[in-house]
C-alpha cells in the first residue's frame, strides 16, 4: 500500500531541493521524507551532507534509482531535478502508482511543441502533459488536490500570473494593449552550476537584463493569463542578491478604475 504521507524526494543538492527539504522536514503531517541523490559521497543522512540540518533534519539519504523509490511505500515523489531528468523519471514513478510533484519545467506546458521550442529539449513525456496540473494553489487548488502530476510553476511566472490573472479574468485590460512585466530576481534562481556570468565579481554591484525575448517562463505567463504573445513585454533582470523577486507590471485599463476596485 502506498502512503501519500510518505514522501520520496529526488534531488536535494541544488538550491531548490535544499529549500524543499526545509519545507518538508517541518511539515507537521508528513512522515520523515527519504532523499534520493545520484552521489551520496558516503553520507547516510541529509545532515551529513548539509550540516545546517543537524539536530532536526536527520532524514535518510539513499542512492537514486527508480526501483528503490517504487519498491518503497512512498506515495508521493517530489522531483527537484533538471528538466530532462524529470521528463525521464516522472512517467516511471507515475506508472508505479506514485503521485508526482515536479519542480522543473518539464510538465508546465500543455503542448509538447511548446516545451521543445522554449527549452530546446525533446519532450518524451507528451502523453502526460494533458494530465499535469499547474501548481498555483491560488488558482487551481481543487485540481491540485486530485492531481496525479503537479507541475510546480516557474518563479517569475508565479509573480506575474498572480498579479495579472484577476485583471484578465474581469476583462479590465484594454484589448490588445501591451503589458510590461519588469521583473528582477536574485542570483540563486539561476541554479548552482558554476557560470562566468554568475561569479561574484560579475554580479556584485551590478544590475543587468538577461533572457530578453527568450525567457522560458514566457509560455507559462501567456497560457495562464490569456494574454496574446504580441501583448507581453517580459524583461528579466539579475540583482546582486541571493534570492527574492520583485515584479513591477504596467497595464492599460479598458476603463478608468479606482485603486480599491483594482
Contact (Cβ atoms closer than 8 angstroms) between residue 97 and residue 66 = no
Contact (Cβ atoms closer than 8 angstroms) between residue 227 and residue 252 = no
Cα 18 to Cα 167: distance, rounded to the nearest angstrom = 34
H helical segments located in the chain: 15-26, 46-49, 66-70, 83-95, 112-119, 126-129, 137-146, 155-169, 200-203, 218-225
99 Cβ neighbours under 8 A, 6+ residues apart: 4, 75, 76, 77, 147, 148, 149, 150
Catalytic annotation, pick one of 45, 155, 181, 183? 155
Distances (CA, A) of 208 to 171, 185, 203: 33, 10, 9
First-residue to last-residue Cα distance in the chain: 49
176 Cβ neighbours under 8 A, 6+ residues apart: 228, 231
Catalytic status, residue 155: yes
**Sheet arrangement for strand 3-10:** 61-63, 34-37, 3-10, 74-79, 99-102, 149-151, 133-134
DSSP one-letter string for 44-96: SBHHHH-GGGTTT---BEEE--HHHHHTS-EEEEEE-S-HHHHHHHHHHHHHT
Residues belonging to the active site? 155
Amino acid at each position: 500500500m502506498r502512503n501519500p504521507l510518505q514522501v520520496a524526494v529526488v534531488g536535494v543538492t541544488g538550491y531548490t531541493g535544499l529549500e524543499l527539504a526545509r519545507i518538508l522536514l517541518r511539515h507537521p503531517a508528513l512522515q520523515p521524507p527519504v532523499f534520493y541523490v545520484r552521489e551520496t559521497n558516503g553520507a547516510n543522512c541529509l545532515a551529513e551532507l548539509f550540516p545546517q540540518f543537524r539536530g532536526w533534519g536527520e532524514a535518510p539519504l539513499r542512492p537514486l534509482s527508480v526501483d528503490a523509490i517504487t519498491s518503497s511505500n512512498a506515495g508521493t515523489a517530489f522531483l527537484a531535478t533538471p528538466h530532462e531528468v524529470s521528463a525521464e523519471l516522472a512517467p516511471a514513478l507515475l506508472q508505479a502508482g506514485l503521485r508526482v510533484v515536479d519542480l522543473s519545467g518539464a510538465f508546465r506546458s500543455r503542448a509538447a511543441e511548446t516545451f521543445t521550442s522554449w527549452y530546446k529539449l525533446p519532450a518524451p513525456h507528451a502523453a502526460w502533459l494533458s494530465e499535469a496540473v499547474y501548481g498555483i494553489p491560488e488558482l487551481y487548488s481543487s485540481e491540485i488536490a486530485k492531481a496525479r502530476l503537479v507541475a510546480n510553476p516557474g518563479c517569475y511566472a508565479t509573480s506575474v500570473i498572480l498579479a495579472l490573472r484577476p485583471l484578465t479574468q474581469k476583462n479590465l485590460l484594454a484589448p490588445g494593449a501591451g503589458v510590461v512585466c519588469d521583473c528582477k530576481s536574485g542570483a540563486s534562481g539561476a541554479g548552482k552550476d558554476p557560470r562566468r556570468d554568475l561569479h561574484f565579481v560579475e554580479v556584485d554591484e551590478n544590475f543587468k537584463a538577461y533572457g530578453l525575448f527568450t525567457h522560458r517562463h514566457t509560455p507559462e505567463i501567456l497560457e495562464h493569463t490569456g494574454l496574446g504573445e504580441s501583448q507581453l513585454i517580459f524583461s528579466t533582470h539579475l540583482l546582486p542578491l541571493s534570492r527574492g523577486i520583485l515584479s513591477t507590471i504596467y497595464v492599460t485599463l479598458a476603463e478608468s478604475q479606482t485603486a480599491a476596485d483594482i
